[in-house]
Chains A and B, each alone.
Chain A
Amino acid sequence: MSLRHENLRLAYRNLRAARARSFLTMLGIVIGVMAVVLVVCIGQGVKQQISGSLGRYGKGLFVAQPQQVQANGDIFSGLAGANSNLLSYQDVTTIQKTAGVAAAAPLSTASGTMTGDYTVRTPFIIATTPAFSQIIKQHMISGGFFESNDAGKAIVLGMDVAGKLFNDTSAVGQTLTWRGQQFIVSGVYDDFKVPPLSIEANFNNAVFVPYDTASKLMGGSLGAYQILGKVQSGQTVSRTINAVSTALTAAHGGSQDVAVAPAASADSASNRTIHLLTLLISGAAVIALIVGGVGIMDVMLVSVTERMYEIGLRKAIGATNHQIMRQFVVEAFLLSAWGAVIGLLLSCGAVGLLRVYTSMQPVLVWQILVISPLLAIAIGVFFGSMPALKAARKDPIEALRHD
């Protein structure tokens, strides 16, 4: 109907006429939206940084790791508890054979000095199989991951350790010695922006050696502290994980001593902390939004009082309560919608700046980009409609006398 269009036009004009006031109100909403968006985006970024979500490096990843039953009955899993009982290579085979699993790779730690152009006394050595490169999708600066036909003599370096060993990040083709055996560098990983597994395991500092060779050199079978797996595309992740869990339990003679979980919740303890933290700060942000809403109510109230005369006149010439109310609600809507859009733009900009100038890695979460402006508009309209109701119910005579 033409009235709606007219209302929008009129509201726009009214808001423009009271520019300073409109701007200040909008500021409340802008700040509210920014607070919500930034908090959630930064929280999500920190969460990814800390928990080392594997999700970044591919879809359908899961992690199997030994679990300890603690005295209080809580199940605790992770690196800390990994030393006591490790997984064996058999477990890798078991997982690989489970229906729906595309690939599985063990992660074992090994020790020993490495010498390339320079010597690193205690490198962070991860022994794994070529399947690792299928599971963790990460760009290589140069070269490629070692393959099964490399005769176990090829290794891959993280970016930082490559610098330490060769003072050069493109070290492909260089040789280095570990435990008396010569290896050729087959590839160097690009920067792992977020540690894929946990914050303790910095893959930029890791040397990836073939599992078989490492086992031989370390003397005997090497236990794995984690087994990474990837679900075949088209398979349900949770169902496959259940199948893997069942298979492992069966292989271990009925004892459920291995925890299998999707990659995102690999480190559930710190995840829970971050989750709570995000909730807390989001709560604060929502309060900021509500304060913005109250600001709108304030301005609308002032606006109603200021324009009492206009309301009286409009009613005198035939505007119904509903029509008056709608005019003010439209104004509140416009204010909060503008505020929300500006807030969104500013927070996107702020996320960009934070990524460039700080070590924080906020992530734009699209859900919050949709929810927060809607919430802001809802709050604005809700608070704006109370003064609108007041305006609509005014007695026209009284309103006209108000000059």
Chain B
Amino acid sequence: MALIELNDVSKLYGFGDATNVALDEVSLTIEQGECVAVMGPSGSGKSTLMNMIGLLDRPTHGNYHLAGKNVSRLSANRRAKARRDKIGFIFQSFNLLPRLTALENVALPLLYKGVSQNKRTMKARDMLERVGLGDRAYYYPRQLSGGQKQSVAIARALVNEPHIIIADEPTGNLDSNSSRLVMELLSEIHKTGNTIVFVTHNPELTRFATRVVYMQDGAIKHDEQTRLGEVGRYARAVMYAVPETTEDDDLAGVSMMMDVLDKRANATEKPKRAPHTKTKKPAAKRKKAKK
């Protein structure tokens, strides 16, 4: 039985002419123990997919089975409880509460579960030790570096022993050293049997994944298995393609044109298309910034 099973899941925003298709009949099956990297330009529906898998959002159409249970029509509160018990979140901007110490931040999910103070503290401390921040338990987030903050966030995501860890660009706000630290941490967690789904813009980071999913316009465009330590084939193509297209990216028209050419080439295989073209520009820019 697959851990995550999405069947023709769509997410629409708005009504009538203003309807915006964020996810377009996506079907995706993720097994226990996979480490999936999700790539794609901004506005391609990566985050919506993450929110869907993470039970933050409900599909407009389609079904989502989490560990064999249909969770696509759960009420907000049931979803909150499911998130609490089954899912660990890691965000790009860490999302630690500034007024709580690292320890308290890590213990937060346990608090909502109703675990006693003593157990909370013990468990949170264990998790901090595990991410190598045992000596920073009583530091406040402002006293920690970016990498340390993300490590605290990882500890928080782990503290409930979730089925899945969802990381939306976990290294997006980090320099390369901290990025490696964080990804190594995630990779270790993966090795202990956890299922991880993460979004990244950096093709390099697909080395840590066992599977890479590419998204565009709310649909999965490519899905490949990779070996650990190896950059995804498609990702490699993107990686080397990027410098060429973004050298003179300040002239927005260039990338636009490239886009249009690209679309024309693919026109036959993809008739359905979300009105997303305007998001292409910043996507190209961001790729340049990464380089």
Contact = CB atoms under 8 A, between A and B. Distances in A.
Q: Which 8 A-B pairs have the closest CB atoms?
A: A318-B84, A320-B77, A320-B80, A317-B109, A313-B95, A318-B112, A319-B112, A318-B83
Interface of A: 1-3, 5-6, 13-14, 17, 309-310, 313-323, 396-397, 400, 403
Contacts of B115: 2
Interface string B70-109: 0000001100110111000101010101010000000011
B12 interface: no
Nearest to A17: B99
A264 B116 CA distance: 57
A402 to B, nearest CB: 12
A271 to B, nearest CB: 55
Contacts of B112: 3, 314, 317-320, 323
Contact of A317 (B77, B84, B99): B84
B257 to A, nearest CB: 31
A3 B84 CA distance: 15
A315 to B, nearest CB: 6
Most buried by A among B56, B76, B112: B112
Interface of B: 51, 54, 56-57, 76-77, 80-81, 83-85, 89, 91, 93, 95, 97, 99, 108-109, 111-117, 156, 160
Most buried by B among A14, A319, A323: A319
A2 B116 contact: yes
Given A317-B156, A320-B80, A2 B117 contact: yes
Contacts of B83: 316-318
Nearest to A396: B56
A391 B219 CA distance: 33
A321 B77 contact: yes
B97 A321 contact: no
A2 B160 CA distance: 17
Contact of B51 (A14, A309, A315, A397): A397
A313 B95 CA distance: 7
A17 B111 CA distance: 21
Contacts of B117: 2, 5-6
Nearest to A315: B80
B114 A2 contact: yes
A316 B153 CA distance: 13
Most buried by A among B80, B84, B99, B113: B80
A35 B119 CA distance: 47
Nearest to B166: A316
16 contacts: A2-B114, A5-B117, A309-B95, A316-B95, A317-B89, A317-B108, A318-B80, A318-B85, A318-B112, A318-B160, A319-B80, A320-B80, A320-B81, A322-B77, A397-B57, A400-B91
